[in-house]
Homo-oligomer: A and B are copies of this chain.
Amino acid sequence: MGSPQDSAQGGVAARLAAAGIEVPPPPAPVAAYVPAVRDGDRVWTAGQLPFVAGILPVTGKVGTGEGCVSADVAYGLARTCALNALGAALTVVDDLKRLVRVIKMVVYVASAPDFFGQAAVANGASELIAVAFTPGHHARSTVGVNALPLDASVEVELVLAVR
């Protein structure tokens, strides 16, 4: 496992670029809250939905039944949420290289009541972070919920160490 310094040396941008991944522009500020807050050497992001260019390409609960979003599709949505969370962090730091590591991630998966594969879905977010950061490992809580805003399938929030 590399040292946190590795990530600080421009590593996040370089690693994402090497993987062909682009951090999306940060979301537009909203009325009553903001995409992220910097608190000393920590950044707390708002919960991020899997928006792509301002729309949710997929909505609905994750599960195995008819009409449900599959776990495989939801894995990709969780990855998008994590990427959007990095974009959110960029609203309060001026460069990706200031992001040192992800401390904590919470992944909420809108779930059919008989779906229990939330961890595999959440890996979409965790593995994106593992590509971007060294060390990429973070503490994570993953829970199923019965509904998310706008019928989104996944929501991800991060607490990051920055400098």
Give chain A's interface residues, CB within 8 Å of chain B: 29, 31-37, 39, 42, 44-47, 61, 101, 103-106, 108, 110-119, 123, 126-127, 129-130, 136-151, 155, 157, 159, 161
Contact = CB atoms under 8 A, between A and B. Distances in A.
A146 B47 contact: no
A10 to B, nearest CB: 22
A56 to B, nearest CB: 11
A123 B149 CA distance: 12
Contacts of A123: 31-32
Given A113-B146, A119-B149, A139 B46 contact: yes
Nearest to A108: B143
Contacts of A46: 139-141
A33 B39 CA distance: 24
Contacts of A151: 116
B116 A150 contact: yes
Given A44-B104, A159-B44, A36 B148 contact: no
Contacts of A144: 110, 145-149
Nearest to A147: B144
B103 A140 contact: no
Contacts of A149: 116-119, 142-144
A103 B45 CA distance: 10
Given A32-B127, A143-B145, 13 more contacts: A32-B130, A33-B138, A37-B138, A39-B103, A44-B103, A45-B139, A46-B140, A47-B141, A110-B144, A111-B146, A115-B147, A116-B148, A144-B148
